[in-house]
A = this chain, B = another copy of it.
Amino acid sequence: MTTTATATKQFMTSDQLLEDWQGHRNLTRRVIEAFPEKDLFEFSIGGMRPFAKMATELIGIAGPALKGIIDNNMEAYNEEGFKPGTKEDILKKWDEETEVINHYFNMISEERFQETFNLFGEYEFPVYQNVLYFIDNEIHHRAQGYVYLRALGIEPPFFWERF
């Protein structure tokens, strides 16, 4: 094996990434569902945001960011457009965004994943890194939701159950 070979190895295809991501999104959906209505909007540890706020952030990033990448639109990140009042509001929007994500993600070309994009006019990275960040950020906040559930005495869904 040469260094050159190493530098050009494919790790995964874009289809595989999307399937992995939607698997994560299914799990996050189950974590939202596991919260009692009141705790979803109010429970907090150490001054952190309630899980409804974290879920609203995730909804505000993935779909809008992918649309921005396709439209070459560098508008600032904006969470103000969606103000859920109930768990049902969040789950409904979550499912709508599933289709938005599939639609725009599939429009990104292999070359584009390697090109730099100034996401939300603020995060200037290659597109593949931006996408990884969306997923990492989701895993990060969801895991904080796991701690909230445990603190509430509720068993969270299995981490490895995705579909």
Residue ranges of A at the interface with B (Cβ–Cβ < 8 Å):
1, 6-17, 20, 24, 45-48, 106-107, 109-110, 113, 128-129, 131-133, 136-137, 139-144, 146-153, 159-160
Cα(A102)–Cα(B72), bound, Å:
36
A143 → B minimal CB distance (Å): 4
In this complex, the member of A46, A132, A149, A159 whose beta carbon has the largest number of chain B beta carbons within 10 angstroms is A46
State the majority secondary structure of interface residues on A: helix
Chain B residue at minimal CB-CB distance from A139: B139
- Asked if A10 meets B13 with Cβ closer than 8 Å, knowing A46-B147, A48-B150, A139-B143, the reply is yes
- Say yes or no: B10 contacts A150, CB within 8 Å: no
A125 → B minimal CB distance (Å): 10
- Asked if A159 meets B147 with Cβ closer than 8 Å, knowing A109-B1, A129-B20, the reply is no
Partner of A48, one of B1, B133, B147: B147
In this complex, the member of A10, A110, A146, A153 whose beta carbon has the largest number of chain B beta carbons within 10 angstroms is A10
A112 → B minimal CB distance (Å): 10
A12 → B minimal CB distance (Å): 5
A66 → B minimal CB distance (Å): 14
- Say yes or no: A153 contacts B15, CB within 8 Å: no
- Say yes or no: B139 contacts A10, CB within 8 Å: no
Cα(A109)–Cα(B1), bound, Å:
9
